[in-house]
Amino acid sequence: MAPKPGSATTPKKATATSSKSSSNKAKVPSSKPAKDLTEQSAVAVNEKEKKKQNFIIRTIWTLVMIGGFFLIIAAGHIYIIGLVVLIQILAFKEVITLAAKPSIEKKLPWGRTLNWYFLATTIYFLEGESVIYYFKHIVLVDSFLLPLAINHRFFSYCLYIIGFVFFVFSLEKNHYKFQFTQFCITHMALLLVVIQGNFIVSNIFSGIFWFFVPAALVITNDIFAYLCGITFGRTPLIKISPKKTVEGFVGAWICTILMAIILCHFLIRFDYFICPMKDLGTNAWSNTTCTPNPVFLSSAHRVPTFLQPLLHTDRVSFPAIHFHVAVLATFASLIAPFGGFFASGLKRSFQVKDFGNTIPGHGGIVDRFDCQFVMGFFCYLYYDTFVATHGATMGSVLQSAILNLDHKDQIQLTVSLTKYLANNGIIDEKVVKCITSVVGEDYY
C-alpha cells in the first residue's frame, strides 16, 4: 500500500536529512582551531625570529662596546674623561626625558632649557674643580685662569642661583606641583648621575687602575650573576627584580673576588695603569714612569694562626692591593647591584621597559651604567681614605704661596729657592746672580 501523505515515513526522511545537515554543520567549526593553531605557530615563529635578531644585534654591540672601551683606555686619560662626561650627559638626558614628557603635553616653556642649564652649571663646577685640584701648577700660574681658579666656587654658585631665580620666574598657575616635581627630579638626576660620575673622573686622575678595575668588577659581577643564576638559582632575591636569585647573588660575589685578584695581578705590572695622571697627552704608548703607591709593592703580611699549620709559615709576601681589590669586589657584588635595582624601580614607576634606545639591543645608557655610578663613588672614597698618600704636593705648595703670600714674600721665596738649588749644584750660580740683580738687594 502506498503511504499516505503525512505518514511516518516523511518525518523519518526529514530526520535523516536533518541529521546529515547537522553533522555537516558540526564539521565546519573544526577548521577554526586549525586556523588558530596556524596563526599561533606563525606568531611563535615571528617571536623566535625577533629574539634571534635581537640576540645578534645585542652581541654585535657588546663586542663593539668592549672593543671601543679598550681602545679608549689605550688612547689616554683625556679620552677616558671624555667618555665619562659623555655618559654623564646621555644618562642625565634619559632620566630627564622620562619625566619631561608631561611637560611637552602641558606646553610649559623653559622646562627642558632649565634642565640643561643646571647640567652645564653642575659640570662646570665639578669638572672645573677637579682640573684645578690636579693641575694647580698650570692653572694658578696662568694670568687668565688665575681669577677663575681662585673664585671658581663663587662663580659656580652665581650660575646656579641664576638658574634658580629663572625657575621661580617660570612657575605658572595650576602647574606648581608638576613644575616642582620636575625640579626635584632634575636635582635627583644631577646627584645620582652627574655628581657621582664626577668622582669617577677623580679616580682617573689618580690612575687608570682606579677607573678600570671598579668598572671591570661591575661587568664581571653582572656576567657571573647571570651564569650562576641560570645554573643554581632557586631562591628569589628581591621583588623589584624577580629574575635575581640568592644563589646567583652569592655565586657572583665569590667569582668576582677571584677575578679581581687575577686582574689585579696582571695590571699592577704596567706603570700606565698605576701611575697618577701628570700629563693630559699620556697614552698607552707613552713612556710612563712613576714611584708606585706602596700598595702596589710586595710586602710581608702575618698569616692568621689557624692557617699557619697549613701554610707552614707565619708570614707571606704579596702586594696589599690584592686585599683592597677584594674589598672593591665585595662592594661591586653586594652593594653596587642595588643601583640597578633602584633603576628598575624607577622604570617601573614610569611604566617603561628601558630608559632609552641609545645602545641597540641593550636599551639606554642608564640601563647599562646604573651600577657604575655607585661603584665609582665608593672607589673614590675608599681610595682617598685607605690608599692615597696625603703628602705635600707641588700644586698644594704653589697654591699656598700664591693665595697666602704677598708679592714681596713670593719674590723672596723664589730667590731663596733658587739659592738652595744652586748650593746643591742643581742649577748654575749665574741664575742666582741674574735673579738677584733683577729683584734687588731687598730680597737677599
Mean pLDDT of 142-170: 87
Q: Where is pLDDT greater, at 53 or 162?
A: 162
Cα–Cα distance for residue pair 168/171, rounded to 1 Å: 6
Q: Are strands 236-238 and 241-245 parallel, antiparallel or unpaired?
A: antiparallel
Q: Where is pLDDT greater, at 84 or 433?
A: 84
Sign of the Cα torsion 132, 137, 140, 143 reads negative
How crowded is residue 207: how many other Cβ atoms within 10 Å of its Cβ? 24
pLDDT at 41: 67
**What dihedral angle (degrees, nearest 10) is formed by the CA atoms of 388, 392, 397, 399?**
20
pLDDT at 122: 94
How crowded is residue 31: how many other Cβ atoms within 10 Å of its Cβ? 9
CA angle 51, 55, 59 (to 5 degrees): 175
- What's the pLDDT tens digit per position in 300-343? 888 888 888 888 888 899 999 999 999 999 999 999 999 999 99
How crowded is residue 392: how many other Cβ atoms within 10 Å of its Cβ? 8
Residues in the chain: 444
Q: Is the pLDDT of residue 23 over 70?
A: no
Q: Is the pLDDT of residue 345 over 70?
A: yes
DSSP letter for 235, please. Answer: S
Nearest C-alpha neighbor of 231 from the set 255, 247, 218, 249 = 247
Cα–Cα distance for residue pair 113/163, rounded to 1 Å: 10
Residue 158 banded pLDDT, cuts 50, 70, 90: very high
Cα–Cα distance for residue pair 386/321, rounded to 1 Å: 11
Residue 7 banded pLDDT, cuts 50, 70, 90: very low
Of 197-206, 213-222, 267-276, 280-289, the one with minimum mean pLDDT is: 280-289
pLDDT at 138: 63
pTM: 0.79
Task: Name the β-bridge partners of 302.
Answer: 315
What 3-state DSSP class applies to 353? Answer: coil
pLDDT at 82: 92
pLDDT at 419: 85
Long-range contacts of 116-122 (CB under 8 A, 24+ apart): 117/163, 117/166, 118/160, 118/163, 118/186, 118/187, 118/190, 119/89, 119/92, 119/190, 119/194, 121/156, 121/159, 121/160, 121/163, 122/190, 122/194, 122/195
The span from the first CA to the last CA of the chain, in angstroms, equals 156
Q: Is the pLDDT of residue 241 over 80?
A: yes
pLDDT at 6: 45
Cα–Cα distance for residue pair 9/18, rounded to 1 Å: 14
Of 140-149, 191-200, 337-346, 375-384, the one with minimum mean pLDDT is: 140-149
- What's the pLDDT tens digit per position in 70-97? 999 999 999 999 999 999 999 999 988 8
Residues 6+ apart with CB under 8 A from 368: 359, 362
Mean pLDDT, the chain, whole residue set? 84
Q: What are phi and psi of 319, to 5 degrees?
A: -65, 135
pLDDT at 86: 94
Mean pLDDT of 399-427: 83
Residue 14 banded pLDDT, cuts 50, 70, 90: very low
Q: Is the pLDDT of residue 223 over 70?
A: yes
DSSP letter for 363, please. Answer: B
CB 163 within 8 A of CB 114: yes
| Domain locations along the chain | 76-206, 207-390, 396-439
CB 95 within 8 A of CB 185: yes
